[in-house]
Amino acid sequence: MKFKISLSPLKKVLPYLSIILFLIVVIYTSYLYYQNSKLVGERDQSIATIQKISSELNTLKTQDPYKTNSELKKEIEDIQKTFSLAVSTYESLLDLETPPKNIKGLDELFANILVLLGKRDYTEAVKKLSELSIKIREEQTKIATAVIIPQNIPVSNTTPESGYSRQKVTTEAGDFQVDIIAADLSSTRIIVDTASDSTCSDKTNSFDTLLMNKNKTWFNSDNNVYSTNPGVVFEGSRVNFVSAVSQVGRDTGIDGMISNYPLLVSGSNISFGGDDDPKKGSKGARSFVANKGSIVYIGVVHNATVAESARVMRALGMENALNLDNGGSTALWSGGYKVGPGRNIPNVILFVKK
């Protein structure tokens, strides 16, 4: 039995199928075009956003925080530099007032400098501070020239065995008046005392060097971990001068320690012969702590530079000697003040009988 398929109906439907297929292709192509256009639009929008962010970043780099921080950093550096100069100059000015002298013109110049600082004119302030420093040194030279050692002071290059002495010491750099106190560690305990047990909240009557007081409180420990400043340690019947306080631990078993600079004499030889620091090179009352064996000395060399004070220490036969301070903060007491003080002092070395 044979079957015969007729194609007549398919011929009738075929044109409609072609139209439907064409429409499907057109619709799908339109869909793809729409999706592509959407992606292109999103891409263009993303690129525009990136370009905007990049532009804003460049603006920030030139204005806020890069430029602003740079300007702030420079201003902070100017403030620190000028403040340091101002403090140093003011201390020199105070030293001229001890004892009081007629320095009205210098006071007025310093007042004008403070006005410049208030106006944030650091360049002009630094210039005026330099001028004031020169005038102060000129005044110090005049004062030093006028100083005469009293004739009734005995001439001696021999240190006292104990107690207080005022004497004239002869060196290759000239003659110098020296006030000195001696104490033997076999019968004397040496301690360092301070105005308080806490670090000063401001710079008034404060200090930056390492110190341990009688209450076993360490001062300025953090900023002296790597310090190259010399110091002296008192412990029982021993005294130890160190070339750098970085060598000193934080042992509270010692009686006390104090740091300053420079080391004047070490191993009986002069350690400081002078440098370009005008403050060390100016004449003044130079306080010191020194030793010969178990005998410790504290005292003041009058009308001397730091280098001249070192020569006095060697002339007195000191084995080791450390410069302490000068000017208004210099004081020496033995049954009453023998020297100073010109102002309140933040720390002292005390000889206490055992």
Q: What is the pLDDT of residues 55-66, one digit of tens each?
A: 655 665 565 555
- Would you list the domain boundaries of the chain? 66-146, 163-353
Closest CA relative to residue 129, chosen from 145, 141, 147, 117: 117
In the chain, the percentage of residues whose pLDDT exceeds 70 is 68
| Cα 41 to Cα 31: distance, rounded to the nearest angstrom | 15
| Cα 175 to Cα 168: distance, rounded to the nearest angstrom | 6
Q: Report the pLDDT averaged over residues 161-172.
A: 97
Closest CA relative to residue 302, chosen from 147, 181, 157: 147
Statement: residue 229 has pLDDT above 80: yes
Neighbours of 184 (CB within 10 A): 14
Q: Report the pLDDT averaged over residues 17-38.
A: 60
pLDDT band of 218, cuts 50, 70, 90: very high
Statement: residue 29 has pLDDT above 90: no
Beta-bridge partner residues of 188: 353
Which residue type, as a one-letter code, is found at position 301?
V
pLDDT band of 3, cuts 50, 70, 90: very low
Whole-model pTM over 0.75:
no
- Residues 345/331, Cβ–Cβ less than 8 Å: yes
Q: Report the pLDDT averaged over residues 190-200.
A: 81
Closest CA relative to residue 332, chosen from 219, 167, 201, 166: 166
Q: Which two tokens stand for residue 31?
A: 């869909």
| Cα 28 to Cα 7: distance, rounded to the nearest angstrom | 31
In angstroms, the Cα distances linking 22 to 33, 191, 219 are 16, 108, 94
- Residues 252/219, Cβ–Cβ less than 8 Å: no
pLDDT band of 327, cuts 50, 70, 90: confident
